[in-house]
């Protein structure tokens, strides 16, 4: 389900086409008639539907019927900019995920990248999580991190995050499609993965590093 540009949708379509993702996208629902992502879906021959989001309950009823009709098993929110009806969210519990451009639980809601810059954090990133009724909340499945550069503005930081979004979303969805992800007491366990044990510093001290190399 989308509301706009559709670049994450594009990443999922590409992953399915490359067989990097054992899934089939059966339907793209947009809350906006004008969403550019609809053209991306049409170009990939994926059926589309527009459900104007005037009323939460009405949206949920139409979406439910369409998803049922297409025998959809799993829902991905990819730039879907509306809060969903709580009953709808419950009906799709642990079968609906979202991508958000921050390291949740920091910076929920709109303009997450702007919020990160305002807070002066050294790292930003994105999160894929199961959806719960509260905005941008729910068990976290995966995150990708990027450094904040000095002089970053919202556009530059957003572009850096978007690049890793396009890697993270298909990757997480593949883990789910392979049956390796489960929610236990509102935390996510992923089978058969390795977690890197590395320290990443930002900023990195080039003066200190130079002194260290002088010392041999």
Alpha-carbon distance of 161 to 33, in angstroms, equals 26
Tell me how far CA of residue 149 lies from CA of 97, 111, 153, 208, in angstroms. Answer: 29, 18, 9, 19
Q: Segment contacting ligand GRF (CB under 6 A): 4-12, 137-145, 172-180, 207-215?
A: 4-12
Closer to ligand GRF by Cβ: residue 113 or 176: 113
Alpha-carbon distance of 167 to 145, in angstroms, equals 11
Q: Which position among 101, 125, 142, 170 is part of the footprint of ligand GRF (CB under 6 A)?
A: 101
Q: Is 78 in the site for ligand GRF (CB under 6 A)?
A: yes
* 149 flagged as catalytic: no
Q: Sign of dihedral through CA atoms 96, 176, 158, 113?
A: positive
Closer to ligand GRF by Cβ: residue 2 or 103: 2
Helix 7-17 and helix 154-177, axial crossing angle in degrees, nearest 10 = 40
What are the residues facing 146 on neighbouring strands?
124
Ranges within 137-196 binding ligand GRF (CB under 6 A):
162, 165
Q: Which position among 100, 130, 138, 157 is part of the footprint of ligand GRF (CB under 6 A)?
A: 100
Please list the active-site residues: 100
The binding site for ligand GRF (CB under 6 A) comprises 2, 4-8, 37, 78-79, 99-101, 126, 162, 165
């Amino acid at each position: 389900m989308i509301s706009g540009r559709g670049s994450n949708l594009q990443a999922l379509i590409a992953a399915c086409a490359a067989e990097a993702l054992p899934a089939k996208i059966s339907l793209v629902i947009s809350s906006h008639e004008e969403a550019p992502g609809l053209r991306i879906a049409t170009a990939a021959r994926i059926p589309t539907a527009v459900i104007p989001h005037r009323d939460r309950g009405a949206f949920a009823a139409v979406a439910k019927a369409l998803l049922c009709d297409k025998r959809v098993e799993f829902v991905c929110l990819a730039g879907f900019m509306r809060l969903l009806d709580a009953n709808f969210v419950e009906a799709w519990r642990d079968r609906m995920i979202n991508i958000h451009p921050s390291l949740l639980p920091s910076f929920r809601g709109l303009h997450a990248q702007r919020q990160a810059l305002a807070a002066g954090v050294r790292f930003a990133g994105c999160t894929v999580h199961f959806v719960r009724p509260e905005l941008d909340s729910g068990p976290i499945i995966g995150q990708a991190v990027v450094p904040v550069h000095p002089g970053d503005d919202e556009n530059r930081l957003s572009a850096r995050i978007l690049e890793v979004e396009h890697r993270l979303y298909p990757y997480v969805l593949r883990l789910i499609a392979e049956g390796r992800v489960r929610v236990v007491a509102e935390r996510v366990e992923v089978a058969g993965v390795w977690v890197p044990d590395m320290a990443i510093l930002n900023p990195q001290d080039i003066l200190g590093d130079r002194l260290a190399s002088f010392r041999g």
